Amino acid sequence: MRYAILMIAVSLLPAAAFGEQGPKRVKTQIVRESAPGASVLYAIDEDATVRIDWDAVETLATSKADRTMLPIAQLMLAIRDRTWKPVRR
């Protein structure tokens, strides 16, 4: 599940977010199914298209009802709103 979220996160980042070093190579892997419990927030089609239910993500982030899925919802919103910053080593 974490790998699927990471791939979503990396694919949504603008090229400028990688800084002066330029983009690092990321190994692409096709994700065939969503993690258990994550199907509320997103679904993965047979052709590896990820469909995100933004209403569900926003509702979960606001209500904080499901504490196991809350970090994923917050990360998805941060990526969408371009407020997420990658960690630099």
Residues 7-45: pLDDT tens digits? Answer: 676 666 655 455 555 556 666 666 666 667 777 888 888
Separation CA 82–CA 85 (nearest Å): 8
Per-residue pLDDT band at 60 (split at 50, 70, 90)? very high
Report the chain's terminal Cα–Cα distance, integer Å.
24
Backbone angles phi, psi at 84, to 5 degrees: -85, 135
Residue 79 has pLDDT above 90, yes or no: no
pLDDT of residue 66: 86
Percent of the residues in the chain that have a pLDDT greater than 90, as a whole number: 12
With beta carbons less than 8 A apart as the criterion, state whether 69 and 41 touch. Answer: yes
State the pLDDT at residue 10: 66
Task: Read off the pLDDT band of 57 (50, 70, 90).
Answer: very high
